[in-house]
Amino acid sequence: MMTEITFRLDWAFEFLTIGLFIILIWLMVGRYSRVKLGDSDDKPEFSRFSWGGMLFCASMGTSIMFWSIVEPLYYYTGPPFGIKGGSTEAADYAVSYGLFHWGISAWALYALPAVVMAYSFFVRKDHSLKISAACRGVLGKHADGFLGKAIDVLVIWSMIGGLGTSLGLGVPMISAVVSDLFGIEPSLWLNVVIIIIWTFIFSSSAYLGLYKGIRKLSDWNVYMALGLALFVIIVGPTLFILSYFTNSLGLMLDDFLRMSLYTDPIAKSGFPQTWTVFYWAWFAATAPFIGIFVARISRGRSIRELVFNVLMWGSLGSWLYFGVFGGYAMDLELSGKLSLTEILTEQSEQAVIVAVLNSLPLPMVVSIFFVILGFIFLATSIDSASYVIASVATQKLGPTTEPARWHRLLWGVLLSALAISLTIVGGLDVVQTSSVLVSVPVLIMYVLMGLSLIKWLKKNEHLHVYVKK
């Protein structure tokens, strides 16, 4: 089923992503770019650092830790454009394709829902953080009926699927590193213990709320993530990492349009469907959830500021990790110090991550730090998810009010219970796949949100407050 979607709708997802990028450029430079998301006296609630940290950490979770190491190896052995696997040209594309998949195009999928939700909530004063409300410009009264409820149910399911994906990557990864640290066998119950510890961390943050909980947890998340990346740059092959990243970024920018519209209909290698289209579908499925959260923390900012910073913070954070960890992994592979592709083929993706961590100086300290960072990344993601679901399930919210504390904790506990149940019965793969299936109706939601925003911008000019140039 998943293959059917990625092969039959490859053109739709690729045109959607390009189209969103064009719309966002218009929003940044057009006549509505200075529209303030709030009243004239509203000021941003968070510093730019905390704001950027929250939107990045909520969106990425442990996925960036996992794929920044493993993904370049897949591109090296199975490259695009008919390039021979394991060749010099394949090595050139190994990190550049990661920069593309986790860069501006991916974050464009998150940015539009964020703008529409923020405009609906802070400018139109629609006291509802629901995607159905963001489609009201087109749906009208139907946004409050069965169709609107169906949209919101799909959004909640996509959040659960996003959680399943984060768990499916993060828990086995942390489990593998913990097993290596303490010399114990990976097991189901070790995974359950990891989820319980992770639940305690995010429950504490959820109890404290958006300002004292999620913000501070995200700040620590960013500090630790930057610290680990800086450590690898310093102790690793510094010049190679910097040079390789520069080359990869240039190659990605040079081939941006080719990568964006690559479907390979003649050779039928399946590369764009397996990677690019799958990623766009996955990001699109989780975008409504991210859009709601980013909108909620963006009061007092302009449309231009919101769009630019989502694209900038998201892309720079992703590029940093792919440039550093992808570059370090490729140096190990290309120099012959460690055959990571062999470990990937004969063992597992988690074994690759353990091998990379053990190749660094002070491997035990690095591994412990990596595990703690993984816990915080997971906690930040689920904390944001429980906050959003509680917001969606709350009938009425004001610009400065939060969902009830018990409500946030309830959803957090329910999500954790679901995570443990799925881990025990082995159902995470099903949830991950189904979350991407949701991306098909989300394609229609993007059209509804885009048309609603354009209609509102023209119709509600009397509500607009403009920030100074």
SS (H, E, C) 227-294: HHHHHHHHHCCHHHHHHHHHHHHHHHHHCHHHHHCCCCCCCCCCHHHHHHHHHHHHHHHHHHHHHHHH
227, two tokens: 């610290």
Predicted pLDDT of residue 62: 80
Helix, strand, or coil (residue 398): coil
Spell out the alpha helix ranges (H) of 46-187: 48-60, 63-77, 88-101, 104-118, 131-134, 136-139, 146-182
Angstrom distance (rounded) from CA 132 to CA 149: 7
Which residues fall within 8 angstroms of residue 122, CB to CB, at 6 or more apart?
37, 38, 42, 295, 298, 299, 399
The helix-helix angle for 104-118 and 88-101 (nearest 10°) equals 0
DSSP string across 150-205: HHHHHHHHHHHHHHHHHHHHHHHHHHHHHHHHHT----HHHHHHHHHHHHHHHHHH
DSSP for residue 39: -
- In a 3-state reduction of DSSP, which class is residue 466? strand
What is the distance between the alpha carbons of residues 408 and 91, in angstroms, rounded to a whole number? 45
Integer angstrom CA distances of residue 467 from 34, 37, 189, 299, 302: 5, 10, 54, 13, 7
For residue 353, the SS3 value is: helix
pLDDT given at position 382: 77
Q: Which pair of structure tokens corresponds to residue 214?
A: 């999620």
Backbone angles phi, psi at 185, to 5 degrees: -80, 135
- Phi, psi for residue 36 in degrees, rounded to 5: -85, 135
- Quote the CA–CA distance of 193 and 230 in Å, as a whole number: 30
Output the tens digit of pLDDT for each of the chain's 469 residues: 667 788 888 999 999 999 999 999 999 999 999 999 988 888 888 888 999 988 888 788 788 888 999 999 999 999 999 999 999 999 999 999 999 999 999 999 999 999 999 999 999 988 788 888 899 999 988 888 899 889 888 888 777 776 666 677 678 888 899 999 888 888 888 888 888 887 777 777 777 777 777 888 889 999 999 999 999 999 999 999 999 999 999 999 999 999 999 999 999 999 999 999 988 988 888 888 889 889 989 999 999 999 999 999 899 999 999 999 999 999 999 999 999 999 999 998 999 999 999 999 999 999 999 999 988 888 787 777 777 888 777 777 766 677 777 777 787 777 777 777 766 766 556 666 666 777 888 889 999 999 999 999 999 888 888 887 6
pLDDT of residue 430: 66
Look up residue 229 and give its two tokens: 């990346």
Distance CA 290, CA 217 (A): 17
pLDDT of residue 86: 94
Q: Are 255 and 351 in contact (CB under 8 A)?
A: no
Is the whole-model pTM more than 0.95? Answer: no
Contact 7, 274 (CB under 8 A): no
